[in-house]
Amino acid sequence: MHSIFSKLFFSFWLATILSGVVFFLLAFNLRLAPLHEEHRRRWDAERAGFMSEVLTIYGTASVASYEKNGKLPPPPTIPPKATGAPGPAHHLQAFFFKADGSALSSEVPPQIRDAVQRQLGAPGAATAPGRGALVLPITGPSGARYLVASESGTGPGPGNAPPPHFPRPFPPEFWLQMLITFVVSGAVCYGLSWRLTAPVRRLRSATQELANGNLATRVAVKSKGRGDEIVDLGNDFNQMASRLEKLVNAHRQLLRDVSHELRSPLARMNVALEIARQKSPESAEPPLQRIQQEGERLDQLIGELLALSRLDGDAGTERSEVDLAELAAEVVQDADFEACASNRHVEYLPTEGIMVLGNRELLRRALENVVRNAVRYTAVGSSVQVALQRTPGQQALVRVKDFGPGVPEEQLSDIFRPFYRVAEARDRQSGGTGIGLAITERTVALHGGSVAARNLPEAGLEVEIRLPLVSRN
């Protein structure tokens, strides 16, 4: 739910669904409004008929009791089950009048008096069904005429209860329409969200490629049909990538040119050094020897710079299947022979053949740089441990472990940068140029692998090299 695609998709879909639900509900209510009004009219007519029937029965009995006993009986109580109306039982509120309009009942409401006065001498109901008062003529046993009146909204059942709720069950087609709305709106919103976020995904992929070192990466930008901010962002990215590529290529070219130009004066300096050694007394040998050492170190640095520039350009590297176990054994044997002179050793745990695809010489140099670096910094009397194994992810894993001082945590990723030194004086003393691990990192990346370093809990540094295995499919 944190991606732009999911946010756009669910926002659009929810808005579409809510709009569809509101639309269908409004349309459904508008379609049912006439039916509901007709239902209310029928209900009012039934209520008036019910009240007329109740008043006629009760009025006839009450008038007979009045002529016989001289008083009106109390209003009856009608239980809800007699009418089907919900709630408690109701008292029928009826008011009696003589034919001349004089009231026989006490506490007659004004609207009842007005209705009786308007209807004196007129047969039938005083008002339309459902509104005002209902006035009916009653003839007593003696033949005398009376009027009985009641508010049309009082009394039990339909007389006082509101019309029952008009049933509004959603028809099957309503649910079918809603299902179609969900499916269609989901498909449309998905396609719209996918189209809107597609340029962002392409830009993100290009950014990752650029971060991985592919400076030729560019974003495909449509020149027609779309001119929004995302297109502008793609153009800006392409300009940035082009500028970076030019700067890095210029830097690499400068590095190669300087390295080549230094080779000639260095060769002349070595020739001059030999001539000076022949013509100088023995007392001049120590400074001449120091000059020779510095020249050799400079020659080594130039060679590593040229190797690094070739790796950056990936200049036609030939690849074949390489037995990494055999290669590691050779590197360990040579490194152990050199380490014995400083009371250090290199140990290797033999393993079965692990085949990788790559350039054997480049891989040898990459592994050799890591092992020699470990020999430089491991404690005197200790052994550098080299192990090789096959990982479940179809990778070859080389571990090189030393027992030296390690590297500060914040500088672990920096040791693979060219000319980076953890401690200037220490690296100078150890004879390092600061390029060996950079060559290893470039070589491993060129072969589709990765290299990382970590400090060990007890002491020392461990460097892990991962390379893809040869696919046998």
Task: Please write down the long-range contacts of 212-221, taking CB distance under 8 Å and 24 or more positions apart.
Answer: 213/445, 215/241, 215/244, 215/245, 215/248, 215/249, 216/245, 217/241, 218/242
Check residue 307 and give its pLDDT. 72
Burial of 410 (0-12, 13-18, 19+ CB in 10 A): exposed
Q: Give pLDDT < 50 ranges for the chain.
A: 82, 84, 124-131, 153-162, 315, 424-429
List the chain domain ranges: 4-159, 212-315, 320-468
Cα–Cα distance, 288 to 192 (Å, whole number)? 76
Which is the catalytic residue, given 2, 36, 90, 260?
A: 260
Q: Report in angstroms the alpha-carbon separations of 361 from 329, 330, 418.
A: 14, 12, 20
Give the helix, strand, coil percentages of the chain, each rounded to 5.
55, 15, 30
Active site residue 260: yes
Q: Is the C-alpha dihedral spanning 158, 160, 161, 162 positive or negative?
A: positive
CATH of domain 320-468: 3.30.565.10
One-letter amino acid of 451: V
The domain made up of 212-315 is a member of CATH 1.10.150.20: no
CB contact at 8 A, 284 and 230: no
Contacts of 116 (CB under 8 A, 6+ apart): 97, 101, 126, 133, 135, 147, 149
